Amino acid sequence: MESSTSSHSAGTTVDECQNMIQRSLQSPMVRFLREHLGKAGCAVGDNFIKAVNCEERAAGGYIRGEGIVVCSNNIEMQDEVDQVLIHELIHAFDDCRAANLEWTNCAHHACSEIRAGHLSGDCHYKRELLRGFLKIRGHEQECIRRRVTKSLAQNPDCSGAAAAKESMEAVWDVCYNDTQPFDRAP
């Protein structure tokens, strides 16, 4: 499961989270990504995105062949649901358009995480400020690198921080500059 870590602990009920998912489905960015998944040949049905209680400390994840889960017990606000869906829909788009994407391959996983971090707004300076990271220049790429490294560390096929960093650096330029399905980074 590719995860987006949340810093909150109270969470919501599965029903409350499901209602937030329904609101997110109306947001322009989520609608755009769902539309482009369909154009890429991977239509997203109503049961593709589900609210669940998660054991791990994650806000959500994309699971190949199953869809997207949003961890209701680790989510408190609508904005968090919006961010999880955008991030995970980018993973779903990558999985759809790349016939040979292997989540067990650290470089493939790193590439999708780089793209999701860059294109979802996960590393917008306001979000970083709320996480306690204050840096004016270069904050976005530093944030993406930090979050990619953290995600790869959870992948049992990426042995150690050095391998994860090496995989990320090997694909950084190509993946950071790949803005599909957008014309440019939002």
Pairing assessment for the beta strands 60-63 and 49-52 based on DSSP bridges: unpaired
Q: Say if residues 143 and 128 touch (Cβ distance below 8 Å).
A: yes
Q: What is the DSSP string of 30-60?
A: HHHHHHHHHHTT----GGGEEEE--SSS-SE
- Establish whether 35 is a catalytic residue: no
Element (H, E) at 78: helix 78-97
- Of these residues, 88, 113, 128, 140, which one is catalytic? 88
186: cis peptide before it, omega within 30°?
no
Helix, coil or strand: residue 67: strand
- Tokens at residue 139, please? 């904050």
Bridge partners of 18, per DSSP, are: none
Q: Would you tell me the crossing angle of helices 139-153 and 106-120 to the nearest 10 degrees?
A: 140
Closest CA to 94 of 117, 125, 126, 70: 117
Catalytic residue numbers? 88
